[in-house]
A and B are shown apart, each in its own frame.
Chain A
Amino acid sequence: MLSRSAEGLYWLGRYLERAQHLSRLLRHQTEALVDRPVEEIHFGWLRIYGSLNRQPPVGSLELLAQDAYSLADSYTLADDLTFEPTNPDSVWSGVASGRENARHVRHCLSAEMWTCLNRTYLRIQGLTIQDIWASSPERFYAETVAEIDTFAGVTAATMYRDEGWRFLNLGRSIERVQLSSALLHAHITAAEGTQDVSEAAWTGLLRLYHALEAYNRTYSLAVEPRQVLDLLATDARLPDSLSRSLDMLSAELAAAAPSPNDEAAGAAQRLMGRMSALVNYAWLDRDDPRSLLRRLNAHGRELHDLVTETYFHYPVHDAPLR
């Protein structure tokens, strides 16, 4: 398929995954605003901003640990993460950029996929933080999550399994690896610096990944950080675990078209192998999970560059003619 179309689908996959991930985080965060202690709310914001590596608009998050600030500032922070157009990671930016990419490659999508995505875009387009804050912000985030899930379902049900499908999923899975490795890293960092919230924070993390029941079945009701991390990193039955995302990524990469840039394609395959090994082998003997997650994340960035060089922006002069 056309390289530019493949790239558009790849980014569509990435952006929607990003918007969904952040909406999930914000849903849990805004639920916490109702009844959780202020320390936990503070922890939640610290984790989100840490995983995005973004400077919060309220300056220091430390002040938030006091009740007086937490609610008012949460409003500002949620706005920054949800509707701020200059924040490339905001939910709105993800949906709008995803939809913009979809518009470029609309002829590669099924009609149902476009309609589904366009509805989400049109629903969010006119909203502001006041609108969603007035009623129930968690409902807004839950709807957004559900709509992006629906898009994934409609995609699975209607999209022709051609190269376009492959690049869309390549984008989704690479983004998942990046988001999860960054979030787990930020979670561990935030948990180390915060007392009192650890048990609730780890339970919340499991809930975020729909993994609480699985955890209870596999381990016990007592929440052990090491076991939580093991489950989220290595359980192949968990939809969003690192190892499952890496398997998906590696399958899509292996099945992608014969590449016009053999050198970069080979490098991508080798890097993929190293990333899988990090989670499937090195993980269990880890001393420092954060350094491992950091490496995984850095590899993910390199892999993105290699995919781009392999399929989208390869040098033309020695590309094969077909």
Chain B
Amino acid sequence: MDFNDYELDGRIYDEMFHADGTARSHYQGVHTALTGTSAADLGDIQEQVTGSFSSEGISFKVYGDEEGDERIIPVDCLPRVLSGSEWSGLETGLTQRLKALNLFLSDVYGPARIVEDGVIPVDVVRGCPQYRIEMRGFQAPHGVWVAICGTDLVRTNEGFKVLEDNLRVPSGVAYMLANRKAVKASFRRLYRSSRVQDIEHYGRVLLTTLQELAPEGTSDPAIALLTPGVYNSAFYEHMFLAREIGAELVEGRDLLVDDGVVYMRTTAGLRRVDVVYRRIDDDFLDPVVFREDSLLGVPGIMHAYQQGNVTLANAPGTGVADDKSVYAYVPDMIRYYLSEEPIIDNVQTNLCRNPEGLEYTLDNLANLVVKRVGESGGYGMLIGPHATPAERSEYAEQVRANPADFISQPVLDLSRAPCLINGRIEPRHVDLRPFVLHGHRTRIVPGAFCRVALRRGSLVVNSSQGGGGKDLWVLEN
């Protein structure tokens, strides 16, 4: 394959090429290998990678899609490459950020000094639908509210930025591991010669993290992964992780609480559970405390948690820290709690709850991305430049009606990486979601679920909206 027709655009950072068309040094190996591979061979590799996803049943579910209940997530076979030093920078920045976020959660459900000191307005915190009044005064075991975090990072010509913190039930790590497995098997020699850092120990790291968070005095804690069930879009991942860490994969109906202790129903009787890695939302966790119509949850589990008899990871209420409005204040949190400057920047964010933010947003709708505070997964957002005037004015009405529900950000020129599209190598926009784990200390496996907007020109990488995945190679230094 040659790269003669590969499109470069100075405004957009290309992961493989400098602006002058020469390959970046950490991409040399991949560049040379692709140049020496025929289109037909690459096609075979792509087919092999896709085929392994299909026979392994690596699927996700799209809500509101009546047709197939399971879809295979599209995967692009060409790896995205980061240098070891690029990664080290990200690692330090992510560690810093999660530390501040955990301190924020302890504070905001405790003395709320940050509010008192005027760093974050009280109504931003209290107005957040994910603020759980039930957690007030609660001290999370070991001070860890967020044990598993998936941070969405993007790169522009100005460097990496955090697009979103996912602190509730972040998903995608199974795809990170599956992409690696499939791509490694298809680019055997290239992989070996590239000296890629290993990510296969993710399961062990997760297990260590969960064990560290077990209630005091528990030796050999029993760990269960709580899933909403097979109809959840991320069920494949729940199953995969339960297997990786040797945990029981439980649904709410498998658990019961007796005298403040959580048990699971086994073939030998009731067995005590010490740590629940829960992959269901706060709302559905416990019908006694949260939504009473929840059939997925476990009545009484919050009581057991508050008694310290079981650890929930992540803690309920963490959503207040990944709220799209609160996000704007994370750099201030880092300065406030750690007296450090943020290592990875935020994306400039306008809060429509503030009059100046609202005015700016409405005046510049055609150049902004507007997001709903409570939504995720790429739902409910407006990409100004891609919308029709009618769509924009209709959206503006909604913003005017409930300004506090919206934020806006500039349309980012997300970096692009080479992808195999219909037998040609073309650039597509990408982001990455590394997974940051925190038990007694922070641990990050050197890899990420790299998402790619497979539609030409599209900036939306969500798998529910035509996005796909890609393997991310972090090279050794």
Alpha-carbon gap, A122 to B55, bound state (A): 8
Listed stretches A21-29, A56-64, A200-208, A253-261; interface member: A253-261
Is A4 a contact partner of B265 (Cβ separation < 8 A)? Answer: yes
Interface string of A217-256 (1 = CB under 8 A from B): 0000000000000000000000000000000000000001
Partner of A106, one of B239, B250, B253: B239
B253: min CB distance to chain A, Å: 7
User: Is there contact, CB below 8 Å, between A107 and B239?
Assistant: yes
* Stretch touching chain B among A86-94, A112-120, A145-153, A286-294: A112-120
B230/A322 in contact, CB under 8 A = no
Kindly identify which residue among A100, A103, A321 contacts B270, using a CB–CB cutoff of 8 Å: A321
| A4–B54 CB distance below 8 A | no
Q: Hey, which chain A residues are within 8 Å of B256, CB to CB?
A: 316
Also in contact, A316 and B267, with CB within 8 A (given A122-B54, A321-B272): no
Interface contact A3-B55, CB-CB below 8 Å: no
Is B269 on the interface with A (CB-CB < 8 A)?
Answer: yes
Residues of B within 8 A of A100 (CB): 230
Specify which of A6, A106, A119, A311 is in contact with B55 (CB 8 Å cutoff).
A119
Contact yes or no, B55 A118, CB < 8 A: yes
Are A4's CB and B251's CB within 8 A?
Answer: yes
Q: A37–B250 Cα gap in the complex (Å)?
A: 55
In the complex where A4-B254, A107-B249 touch, is A319 in contact with B270 (Cβ < 8 A)? yes
Nearest to A321 among chain B residues (CB) is B270
A321's contact among B57, B243, B263, by CB below 8 Å, is which? B263
CB pair B267 A163 closer than 8 Å: yes
Question: Known contacts being A4-B253, A106-B239, A321-B272, is A316 close to B265, with CB within 8 Å?
Answer: yes
Main secondary structure on B side of the interface with A? mixed
* Across-interface contacts of B253 in A (CB, < 8 A): 4
Nearest chain B CB to A309's CB is how many angstroms away? 12
A320 close to B57 (CB less than 8 A): no
User: Once the chains are docked, how many angstroms separate the CA of A104 from the CA of B240?
Assistant: 11
B56 and A115 within 8 A (CB): yes
With A104-B230, A107-B249 known to touch, is A3 a contact of B267 (CB < 8 Å)?
yes
How far does the alpha carbon of A319 sit from the alpha carbon of B55 in the complex, in Å?
A: 40
Nearest B residue to A317, CB-CB: B258
Minimum Cβ distance to chain B for residue A151 (Å): 14
Most buried by A among B235, B242, B270: B270
- List, in ascending order, chain B residues with CB within 8 A of A311's CB: 267
A6 to B254 CA separation, bound complex (whole angstroms): 12
Cβ contact within 8 Å between A260 and B268: yes
Whether A322 and B268, one on each chain, are in contact in the complex, defined by CB atoms closer than 8 angstroms, is yes
Q: Which of chain A's residues 77-95 have a Cβ closer than 8 Å to chain B?
A: none
Whether A258 contacts B265 in the complex (CB less than 8 A), given A2-B248, A4-B253, A107-B243, comes out as: no
Among B54, B263, B266, point to the contact of A1 (Cβ < 8 A): B266
A321 touching B269 in the complex, CB below 8 Å, given contacts A4-B254, A107-B243, A119-B55: yes
Set of chain A residues within 8 Å of B254, measured between Cβ atoms: 2-4
Q: Which residue of A lies closest to B271 (CB)?
A: A322
Q: Which of A106, A257, A312 has the most CB of B within 10 A?
A: A106
- Please state if B269 and A320 are interface contacts (CB–CB under 8 Å): yes
Proximity bits, B233-260, A CB within 8 Å = 1, else 0: 0010001101100001111011010000
Confirm or deny: B210 has a beta carbon within 8 angstroms of a beta carbon on chain A. Answer: no
A20 at the interface (CB under 8 A from B): no
Q: Chain A residue with minimal CB distance to B264?
A: A2
How distant is the Cα of A118 from the Cα of B235 in the complex, in angstroms?
16
A275-292 vs B, Cβ < 8 Å mask (1 yes, 0 no) = 000000000000000000
Q: Is the CB of A118 within 8 A of B268?
A: no
Q: Which residues of A contact B242 (CB under 8 A)?
A: 107
Chain B residue numbers with a CB within 8 Å of A122 are: 54-55
Are B267 and A114 within 8 A (Cβ)? no
What total of A-B pairs shows CB separation below 8 Å?
84
Please determine whether B269 and A322 come into contact, CB atoms closer than 8 angstroms. Answer: yes
CA distance A103 to B265 in the complex (A): 20
Contact string against B for A residues 140-167, beta-carbon threshold 8 Å, 1 for contact and 0 otherwise? 0000000000000000000000010001
Residue A5 is within 8 A (CB to CB) of chain B in the complex: yes
- Determine whether the beta carbon of B56 is less than 8 Å from that of A5: no
> A114 touching B265 by the CB < 8 A rule?
no
Bitwise, A288-322 to B at CB < 8 A (1) or not (0) is: 00000000000000000000000110001001111
CB distance from A52 to the nearest CB of B (A): 28
Candidates A106, A114, A260; contact of B269 at CB < 8 Å: A260
Judging by beta carbons under 8 Å apart, are A319 and B267 in contact? no
Let me know if B250 and A118 touch, CB within 8 A.
no
User: What are the residues of chain A within 8 A of B240 when measuring CB–CB?
Assistant: 107
Tell me which residues across on chain B come within 8 A of A118, comparing CB atoms: 55-57
Q: How far is the CA of A256 from the CA of B248 in the complex (A)?
A: 19
List of B residues within 8 angstroms of A259 by Cβ = 267-268
Residues of A within 8 A of B243 (CB): 106-107
List CB contacts (< 8 Å) of A141-196 with chain B: 163, 167
Query: Is A103 a contact of B230 with CB atoms below 8 Å?
Result: yes
Does A316 lie within 8 Å of B54, measured CB to CB? Answer: no
B472 to A: closest C-beta gap in Å: 23
B250: A residues at CB distance < 8 A: 2, 4
Give B225's nearest chain A residue, CB to CB.
A107
What does the 1/0 interface line of A110-139 toward B look like (CB < 8 Å)? 010011001100100000000000000000
Expressed in whole angstroms, the Cα–Cα distance for A260 and B270 within the complex equals 8
Do B270 and A316 have beta carbons less than 8 Å apart?
Answer: yes
A residues near B239, Cβ cutoff 8 Å: 103, 106-107
Chain B residues lying within 8 Å of A2, measured Cβ to Cβ, are 248-250, 254, 264-267
Q: Given A3-B266, A260-B267, are A114 and B56 neighbors across the interface (CB < 8 Å)?
A: yes
A259 to B265: give the CA distance in the assembly, Å: 12
Chain A residue contacts of B265, Cβ below 8 A:
2-4, 316, 319
Q: How far is the CA of A3 from the CA of B264 in the complex (A)?
A: 9
B128-179 interface with A by 8 A CB criterion: none
Distance to closest chain B CB from A313 (angstroms): 9
Min CB distance A174 to B, Å, is: 16
Per-position binary interface string of chain A over residues 1-14, scored 1 when its CB falls under 8 Å from any chain B CB and 0 otherwise: 11111100000000
Q: Find chain B residues with CB under 8 A from A103 CB.
A: 57, 230, 235, 239
In the bound complex, CA of A270 to CA of B271 (Å): 28
Contacting residues, chain A, for B268 (C-beta < 8 A)? 257-260, 320, 322
Nearest CB in chain A to that of B268: its residue: A257
Rounded to whole angstroms, the CA-CA distance of A321 and B270 in the bound complex is 5
A107 to B249 alpha-carbon distance, docked (Å): 8
Complex-state Cα separation, A5 to B268, whole angstroms: 13
The distance from the CB of A199 to the nearest CB of chain B, in whole angstroms, is 46
A164: nearest chain-B partner, CB-CB: B267
Q: Provide the residues of chain B in CB contact with A312, threshold 8 Å.
A: 267
Taking CB atoms, residues of chain B closer than 8 Å to A106 are: 57, 239, 243
- Nearest CB to that of A316 among chain B residues? B256
- List 4 tightest A-B contacts by C-beta distance, closest first: A260-B269, A107-B243, A320-B269, A311-B267
* A2-B266, A3-B265, A257-B268 known, 9 other contacts, Cβ within 8 Å: A2-B265, A103-B230, A107-B240, A107-B243, A111-B56, A259-B268, A319-B270, A321-B269, A322-B270
Question: What are 8 A-to-B residue pairs whose CB atoms are below 8 Å?
Answer: A3-B266, A103-B57, A103-B239, A122-B54, A316-B270, A319-B265, A319-B270, A320-B270
